[in-house]
Amino acid sequence: MTTETLESVRLETGPEPQSCILWLHGLGADGHDFVPVAKTLQLPFAVRHLFPHAPVRPVTVNGGMAMRAWYDIVSPDLHHRVDRAGIRRSQALVSALIDHQVEGGIPSERIVLVGFSQGGVIALEAGVRYGGLAGVAALSTYVALADEFPPATALSPPVLMMHGTEDPIVPCPLAQDGCRLLRRLGYRVEWHTFPLAHSLCAEEIAVLRRWLLERLTPA
């Protein structure tokens, strides 16, 4: 258990929200990055959006410059010397953030993780290990620690993976490998591609909105 906490931007769309979406940004961004996307969704029920800031750390591939990063990247080849310790540390920080929401009254089955790029790696690692979440959306991302990814259980969340076919940062075939791995391990994975680079588009956000409505609309 970690005693560290992640500073987060918080947005609530109505009083007494009973659902929570945690948004994990990409390398070098911060929690403010996905606030406009969350506002665009306009979900028809009260939601607490949390946008945690990743810790600041040196990033080898960027010349050792310190920036917000969920883990270190040592090479453009994302499978080269993967920062396992950094990933596990951020996984624990995000799990603690989920714990805090559950302790505050939002049950795990009303919580979704959404992550982009590096944030998607952490969303997958934390989301599949935290029992009973409503879902994990992994955008423009990959499975960093494929040999350690756990098999699905009865409590495993559904997973949404979306990727740009022209992505030069996280190549689409790498993401497809992750999708195939998750399916082999028994996860329910919905997969979409879009003709774009390492970014989001309006069509992708529309799919995300539909998927979130399926996961979180009150009965």
Name the more confident of 47 and 131.
Answer: 47
Cβ-proximal residues to 154 (8 Å cutoff; 6+ apart), any chain? none
Three-state DSSP state, 47: strand
Burial degree of 10 (CB within 10 A; 0-12, 13-18, 19+): exposed
Domains of the chain in sequence order = 8-216 (3.40.50.1820)
Contact 114, 205 (CB under 8 A): no
| Catalytic residue set | 117, 167, 198
Average pLDDT, the chain: 95
- Residue type at position 209: R
- 3-state DSSP call for residue 112? strand
Q: What are the tens digits of pLDDT across the range 28-71? A: 999 999 999 999 999 999 999 999 999 999 999 999 999 999 99
